[in-house]
Structure 1
């Protein structure tokens, strides 16, 4: 059986922590920042952790070789 490929879009958007959780960068930080509240700008600064249900989907379908 041939090797399976990871989804290249998912490789760019998600990272794994040492314990196996999935980190992501929140959206909405690219342009038109004047219109956004300061609270939103601050909250999107840090990496987020996906919920267990979403992390399960990402690992199973998109990051196939993620342990």
Structure 2
């Protein structure tokens, strides 16, 4: 059997931690930041760990890890 391919969109958008959790960029930071509160901007810095049900979906799209 040939190897399964990893979805290109998953490669671009997600990273895996050493413990197997999936990280992604925070949503809602692309435009219209003038109306966002300073608290939102501060809390939305960096990467976020996604939930366990979503992690299962992403791992199916990346069969050999990221």
Matched, 1:22 2:22: yes
Q: 1:47-66 to 2 correspondence within 5 Å?
A: 47-60=47-60, 62-66=61-65
Structure 1 outlier segments of 4+, above 3 Å: none
More deviation, 42-51/11-20: 42-51
Q: Please list every run of 5 or more consecutive structure 1 residues that lacks an aligned counterpart in the other structure.
A: none
Per the TM alignment, residue 31 of structure 1 is displaced from its structure 2 partner at its CA by 2.0
Question: What is the alpha-carbon root mean square deviation over aligned residues?
Answer: 1.5
Q: How many residues align?
A: 66
Unaligned 5+ residue runs, structure 2?
none
TM-score of the two chains, using structure 2 as the length reference: 0.86
TM-score normalised by the chain length of structure 1:
0.85
